[in-house]
Amino acid sequence: MRKRMAIAAAAMISALCAGPALAQDWPTRNIRILVGSAPGGGTDAMARAVADRLGPLLKQSVVVENRPGASNTLAADATAKATDGHTMVMGVVTAHAIAPHLLKLNYDNNRDLVPVAFVGAVPNVLVVNNDVPATSVKALVQLAKKEPGQLNYASSGSGSTQHIAAEMFKDAAGVDIAQVPYKGSGPALVDLIGGQVQMSFDTLPAVIGQIRNHKIRALAVTTAKRNAQLPEVPTLAEAGVPGVEMSAWYGIYMPASTPKAVQAKVHDAVNQVLAMPETHTRLAAVGAEITPMTQAQFVEFQAAEYKRYGELIQKKNIHID
């Protein structure tokens, strides 16, 4: 008995010591950050802003891989099932707080993935094609009511923030507009500029360049207050459509099997990147608000958002056809 107890105690001490040692040695190969949308979107922009500075800190190359589709869940699925110990995903609200309530997933978001490092949040923006004869939200609502079912909005897929924001807008404004889903903000934006779709509720990083280049028009932001990058653009509440609040938040997730010491190392490294003036400037330029969180706070935030969107989807009877 004593011998078995001694062996068990030794094994426990060995495991406790192995964690810090493993973290000290990790990473031992290139790191992958998966992105669940196409290049050019908000998630892609956030991932590359982190990846560009993360590699030198961890002394390994950090590669961003785009795996668009299914409301960002294809990348989350691949990360949940990764066994190489060097794969993570730039998570976004769609994959981790919205899609689990709408899609049948091949993984359990709350069991198979762990929130590691919160990155920041950006507003969604109601933008329209320049040929749309509406220069305000009020005029757009009037147009939509005059032509029910004739205006299309682009989204990054059913269950995306663009989709949920538009459905909330439809309910609050009493209009009938139709969704045209894409595999990411990049291709959706191409068709928005080209006039194949008339409007979108895309994330600010994805559209701010085209807004500034006057390729599309911004009518409102979907947050409680105006954004510093678009100070002249009103909130939807200011524009006469209250009750529609949506922002896209981003954070690094890893497989739940990742050792705690490695999670802590990634958390600390990502937060070092976010504290760099050049990173802060780069993210602020696309309207991102960086709010530092401990890992425990991120876990708690994730759980609260999961619950909030679940209740919202049920209340608004939002579903994927």
For residue range 31-90, what is the model confidence (pLDDT) as tens digits?
A: 999 999 888 878 898 999 999 999 999 999 999 999 998 888 999 999 999 999 999 999
User: 3-class DSSP state for residue 319?
Assistant: coil
Q: Are 91 and 47 in contact (CB under 8 A)?
A: no
Mean pLDDT of the region 243-259? 95
* Structure confidence at residue 5 (pLDDT): 46
Question: For the chain, first and last CA: distance in Å?
Answer: 61
Q: Is the pLDDT of residue 16 over 60?
A: no
Q: Is the pLDDT of residue 265 over 80?
A: yes
Mean pLDDT of the region 10-25? 57
State the pTM of this model. Answer: 0.82
DSSP assignment letter at 235: B
* Structure confidence at residue 14 (pLDDT): 47
Domain ranges of the chain: 30-121+248-315, 123-221
Strand partners, 46: none
- At 169-192, the pLDDT tens digits run 999 999 999 999 988 888 999 999
Lowest mean per-residue pLDDT among 4-8, 117-121, 161-165, 170-174: 4-8
* Structure confidence at residue 20 (pLDDT): 59
Q: Residue 22 CB: number of other CB atoms within 10 A?
A: 16
Percent of the chain at pLDDT exceeding 90 = 77
Over the chain, what is the mean pLDDT? 91
Lowest mean per-residue pLDDT among 38-47, 142-151, 208-217: 38-47
Residue/partner pairs of 1-10 with CB below 8 Å, 24 or more apart: none
In this structure, which topology does domain 123-221 adopt according to CATH?
D-Maltodextrin-Binding Protein; domain 2 (3.40.190)
Domain 30-121+248-315 grouped into CATH 3.40.190.150: yes
Helices then strands, each counted (H, E), the chain: 12, 9
Looking at this protein, which amino acid is placed at residue 49?
A: A
**Domains 30-121+248-315 and 123-221 fall in the same CATH topology:** yes
Mean pLDDT of the region 142-159? 92
DSSP class per residue in 87-122: EEEEEEHIIIIIGGGTS--SS-HHHHEEEEEEEEEE
Q: Residue 299 CB: number of other CB atoms within 10 A?
A: 15
Q: Is the pLDDT of residue 160 over 60?
A: yes
d(CA 101, CA 185): 22
d(CA 268, CA 247): 25
Lowest mean per-residue pLDDT among 119-128, 260-269, 307-316: 307-316
Q: Is the pLDDT of residue 321 over 80?
A: no
Q: For the chain, what is the largest distance between any 2 Cα atoms, rounded to a whole number of angstroms?
A: 83
Cα dihedral 157, 42, 142, 312 in deg (nearest 10): 60
Q: Residue 41 CB: number of other CB atoms within 10 A?
A: 32
Question: Which single residue is written with the structure tokens 């979107």?
Answer: 41
Q: Are 205 and 125 in contact (CB under 8 A)?
A: no
- At 85-142, the pLDDT tens digits run 999 999 999 999 999 999 999 999 999 999 999 999 999 999 999 999 999 999 999 9
